[in-house]
Amino acid sequence: MGRAMFYHLTEGPLEATLPRLLGKALEAGWQVDLRGRDRARLEKLDAQLWLGPEEGFLPHGLEGGPHDALQPVLLTTAETARPGTACVMAVDAAEVSAAEAGALERVCILFDGHDEMQLAAARSQWRVLTAAGAVAEYWAQEDGGWTRRMSTAPQG
């Protein structure tokens, strides 16, 4: 079972966080599905990702193109990951099943700390994934960075 990372966005918007997290996933050699619930929202994220990061190109595509299977990062509303995907980053309360998480290297749940629906969805995902045996980590934004506040990994 892979690791589930929960990112509680309180200091900055999703658009500012995504390039860094996606960049790290690509550095690890992973194919990533960026899963959302709303096509229009993904189109806005797609446009934003084309603007940065300043230090490099972030290869990605919006689902529905002829080369979806080849995209290093695919913005999608699909409920299951593409074959070969190592990481699913779920935004805007998009769900990841426990079975799917078990087949992935990493699941990232990014949620807006000012949105009650997203908070409730993240709590539910935490319960589902940890009950299925996923090691989960909760990360909070603090002073412009990230601090791990909780982990279900055995200490030792």
pLDDT at res. 137:
96
pLDDT at res. 50:
86
Q: What is the DSSP string of 44-67?
A: HHHHHHTT--TTS----EETTSTT
What does the pLDDT look like over 44-80, one tens digit per residue?
999 989 886 566 678 999 999 899 999 999 999 999 9
Q: What is the pTM of this model?
A: 0.94
Please give the angle made by the CA atoms of 84, 15 and 74, to the nearest 5 degrees. 20
pLDDT at res. 64:
94
Model confidence at 84, pLDDT cuts 50, 70, 90, reads very high
Contacts of 77 (CB under 8 A, 6+ apart): 35, 36, 37, 38, 39, 42, 63, 94
What does the pLDDT look like over 102-137, one tens digit per residue?
999 999 999 999 999 999 999 999 999 999 999 999
pLDDT at res. 54:
63
The tokens for 42 are 């993904």
pLDDT at res. 115:
96
Average pLDDT, rounded, for the chain: 92
Q: What is the CATH number of domain 3-151?
A: 3.40.50.10110
Distance CA(126)–CA(11), nearest Å, equals 21
